[in-house]
Chains A and B, each alone.
Chain A
Amino acid sequence: MSDTHAQTVAFVRDTMTEQQEPPLSQSGAYKWMRENLLSTPLNVILTLVSVWLIYSVLSHVMPWAVFGIWDASSLSECRTIRDELYGADANVACWAVISERWKQLLFGFYPPEHYWRPVLAFVLFLVAISPVLFSSLPRKLLAFSVVAPFILFWLIWGGTIWGPICVALGFVIGWAIIRYASPYIGALGSVILAIVVPLLYWFVLAGPLDDLLASILPIGLEQVQSKQMGGFMLAMIIGISGIALSLPLGIVLALGRQSDLFLINKCSVIFIEVIRGVPLIVWLFTASLLLNYFLPPGTNFDLMLRVIIMVTLFSSAYIAEVVRGGLAALPKGQYEAADALGLDYWKSMRLVILPQALKISIPGIVNTFIGLFKDTTLVVFIGLLDPIGLSNAIRASTEWNGIYWELFVFIGLCFFIFCFSMGRYSLFLEKKLRREHR
């Protein structure tokens, strides 16, 4: 039987054949294009239309941007150069306005010899924020994050070094009271005391103390007024302070709205609904116009500070609602479990509820922050020279009257970089904090 077999089989392979490349139609770019772009007749048509659309946009925008003129002192000079290079009917950008005015767009009227100060402040801000953003960095850096606001303030506004130190002292006093006095007077008492004493200190003692120290040892930087700040510096100061202040305030408001205490609950609800129910532009007008009349004449309440306060309140109302969404999404069992462990309210919030609720709310929170950062351009309506305001002012000079898109492209690009990186960070954070298996 086996013999017959041996005779009928003419060839038996005794080695493996070499592995072949997959056929061209099944690999690489060809396959990808076939599957993703040209799989059906409809897709072929859609692809062709899309390619044509992209081409027709780029074929107009790219030559305009790439052949743009970088070196000219006015729009008319730009046009003369263009006529020489490309002929009169060519449509090219005049980037010269950016190369002449980019410093103004970034720093406003900040004295040029002090540009290093906001730049250094920005670098320090990045250093200070990094341990907060990335938990892999050494925790000791957090100490720097705590003192950074005072250093940044001093760098940007200047003045003697004692002003920020005297203000910081108030926080130290508050912290010391909570730390050392609570065993004697109880938690609630020490919290109240830790709010009242620093406030008294700031209103009564801090000013004279600052003057005294400044007269004894006047070390510091040259003072720069808020009026002199503009452009992206202004947008960033308002945006960053708004973001940094509104998150804690928003969380407190969200907890307040969930609270069982009648007064706290109703106050939070009213605050949130009133602030959220009125457009930001109205609050900005309130800050710039109405407050002028409520304050006694001659008070010099910095306009930028007023705007920061309004922006902070506005975005904290939104943050509160976003966080409330996170709190509501937690199963009731989490609250009960925290209670069952015997944790008091603050501990249960800090250790059990908020870490989960905030994780859920990250996309919403970052969304609010991006919105807040872009909303800073609204200050143009109250006469602050943010990037948009400066673009109007630049356009009003006789050299650059008539220029339009170049400025907006530049401003848009700068905003995009900031907002895009915020969005990316939020994705990174979501991925890192993801606990469930999918």
Chain B
Amino acid sequence: MKKTVILGALTVAGLAAGAAGAATLDDVKARGSLNCGVSTGLTGFSAPDANGVWQGFDVAVCRAVAAAVLGDPMAVEFVPTTGQTRFTALASGEIDVLARNTTWTFSRDVDLKFEFIGVNYYDGQGFMVPKALGVSSAKELDGATVCIQTGTTTELNLADFFRVNNISYEPVPIETNAEAQQQYLAGACDVYTTDASGLAATRASFEAPGDHVILPEIISKEPLGPLVRHGDSEWGDIVRWTLNALVAAEEYGVTSANIGELSAAPGNNPEINRLLGTEGELGAMFGLEADWAKKAIMANGNYGEIFEKTIGENTPIGLSRGLNAQWTEGGLLYSPPFR
């Protein structure tokens, strides 16, 4: 019920905002900063550090866009949004880009009048259980109590999964991830379910991570991506190709270490030349400088570098690339050609 009301309100909102959004690029340039909506706090994806500087995987997208458009990765005003406020903030023009681990779904794209510009992280919903429970598959969870965040797609996926497998469960509704951790550790629920990345981060923070297992079943597709408003395709293009540039840079071996050298003069790989603006005029086509992609990549490195720095295997979260590897390495990352 609550969800329907919110969706209804958002639909009206989306209609109203369609008229409002135009020439976001000019607004951003005039303002001198990018307004970027992020999560109020999601481990590895967006969180302020001790100095109040936002860090994380989603944050890096904002910084890359700011670098491409304004030449300064720090020229970002971060607007912390909650699950309830994120879409209104974007629809009403309070933010230019929403990079907040938002699942790309049909209704959000079509009905809410947004434009998902790509996927920066392929996630899926998983289950975590204590090892002591002796469960090895989610299908053995008949009658289990499940901690679940309310108002998210995970809630719906969970219901679908249990119905399809004809088993029952008892939901324990919780509001935040932190609450879920405490409830789960205190034994209020047998199972905690959320996106697999979130489960990994949660498990990493436990005293004894080895006592808990993440079950092999991934019950949903959660392509998380940045999104912009409908109606300003030029702006959508800029954000989309900034993300593509980060992905392509990894594919072509452009890193923050060698980018200075590669962009100094045209090399023998025309694709890299076009990407870095030493050849052709890709930047000018959407009203940016020729070296827009170079700046975007220099902000935090290419996609792989960002991944390693924020959520990769060397961080406490320790996510492996999995689906988020390049297509050449069996993953789903595939940037259209820069041509």
Asked if A and B bind, the verdict is: yes
What 0/1 readout, one digit per residue, does chain A (374-406) give for beta carbons within 8 Å of chain B? 000000111111000100111111100110100
**Residues A393 and B48 in contact in the complex (CB < 8 Å), given A76-B316, A385-B40:** yes
Which range holds the interface residue count of chain A?
Answer: 35 or more
Q: Are A293 and B178 in contact (CB under 8 A)?
A: no
Chain A, Cβ-Cβ closest to B48:
A393
Q: Are A292 and B44 in contact (CB under 8 A)?
A: no
Chain B, Cβ-Cβ closest to A227:
B77
Q: Are A79 and B207 in contact (CB under 8 A)?
A: yes
- Give bound CA distance, A292 to B20, whole Å: 12
- Give bound CA distance, A289 to B86, whole Å: 10
> B137 on the interface (CB 8 Å rule)?
no
> A211 on the interface (CB 8 Å rule)?
no
**Residues A398 and B85 in contact in the complex (CB < 8 Å), given A292-B94, A389-B80, A393-B80:** no
What 0/1 readout, one digit per residue, does chain B (221-242) give for beta carbons within 8 Å of chain A? 0000000000000000000000
- Give bound CA distance, A108 to B317, whole Å: 26
Q: Are B13 and A293 in contact (CB under 8 A)?
A: yes
The segment from B49-57, B251-259, B288-296 found at the interface with A is B49-57
> B334 on the interface (CB 8 Å rule)?
no
Option from B16, B82, B178, B207 in Cβ contact (under 8 Å) with A395 = B178
- Give bound CA distance, A297 to B22, whole Å: 11
Q: Which residues of B contact A392 (CB under 8 A)?
A: 40-41, 176, 178
The segment from B164-172, B198-206, B277-285, B298-306 found at the interface with A is B198-206
- Give bound CA distance, A72 to B163, whole Å: 47
Q: Which residues of B contact A402 (CB under 8 A)?
A: 181, 202, 205-206
- Give bound CA distance, A385 to B51, whole Å: 15
**Residues A293 and B79 in contact in the complex (CB < 8 Å), given A398-B43, A401-B201:** no
- Give bound CA distance, A228 to B80, whole Å: 11
> B92 on the interface (CB 8 Å rule)?
yes
Q: Are A398 and B316 in contact (CB under 8 A)?
A: yes
Which residues, 280 to 326 on A, are CB-close (under 8 Å) to B?
Answer: 285, 288-290, 292-293, 297-298
**Residues A293 and B182 in contact in the complex (CB < 8 Å), given A383-B81, A402-B206:** no
Q: Are B176 and A381 in contact (CB under 8 A)?
A: no
> A104 on the interface (CB 8 Å rule)?
yes
Q: Are B50 and A100 in contact (CB under 8 A)?
A: yes
**Residues A397 and B92 in contact in the complex (CB < 8 Å), given A383-B80, A383-B81, A392-B41:** no
Chain A, Cβ-Cβ closest to B21:
A297
Query: Tally of A-B residue pairs with Cβ under 8 A?
Result: 108
> B315 on the interface (CB 8 Å rule)?
yes
Q: Are A382 and B47 in contact (CB under 8 A)?
A: no
Q: Are A381 and B181 in contact (CB under 8 A)?
A: no
Q: Are B205 and A401 in contact (CB under 8 A)?
A: yes
- Give bound CA distance, A289 to B121, whole Å: 28
Q: Are A395 and B50 in contact (CB under 8 A)?
A: no
> A34 on the interface (CB 8 Å rule)?
no
Q: Are B20 and A297 in contact (CB under 8 A)?
A: yes
**Residues A396 and B46 in contact in the complex (CB < 8 Å), given A76-B316, A383-B85, A401-B205:** yes
Q: Which residues of B contact A290 (CB under 8 A)?
A: 9
Q: Are A404 and B47 in contact (CB under 8 A)?
A: no
Q: Are B44 and A404 in contact (CB under 8 A)?
A: no
**Residues A227 and B79 in contact in the complex (CB < 8 Å), given A397-B43, A398-B316:** yes
**Residues A398 and B50 in contact in the complex (CB < 8 Å), given A285-B84, A393-B80:** no
Q: Which residues of A contact B55 (CB under 8 A)?
A: 397
Q: Which residues of A contact B51 (CB under 8 A)?
A: 112
Q: Which residues of A contact B17 (CB under 8 A)?
A: 293, 297
Option from B88, B177, B201, B204 in Cβ contact (under 8 Å) with A289 = B88
**Residues A401 and B176 in contact in the complex (CB < 8 Å), given A393-B41, A396-B41:** no
Chain A, Cβ-Cβ closest to B12:
A293
Q: Are B43 and A396 in contact (CB under 8 A)?
A: yes
Listed from nearest, the 8 A-B pairs whose CB atoms lie closest are: A402-B205, A396-B41, A292-B92, A297-B20, A396-B47, A393-B41, A109-B52, A401-B205
25 contacts between A and B (CB under 8 A): A76-B316, A104-B52, A108-B52, A109-B52, A289-B84, A290-B9, A292-B89, A292-B92, A292-B94, A293-B92, A297-B92, A298-B93, A380-B82, A381-B82, A381-B84, A383-B80, A383-B82, A393-B40, A393-B47, A396-B42, A396-B43, A396-B177, A397-B49, A401-B201, A401-B316
Q: Using a CB–CB distance below 8 Å, which chain A residues touch chain B?
A: 75-76, 79, 100-101, 104, 108-109, 112, 227-228, 285, 288-290, 292-293, 297-298, 380-385, 389, 392-398, 401-402, 404
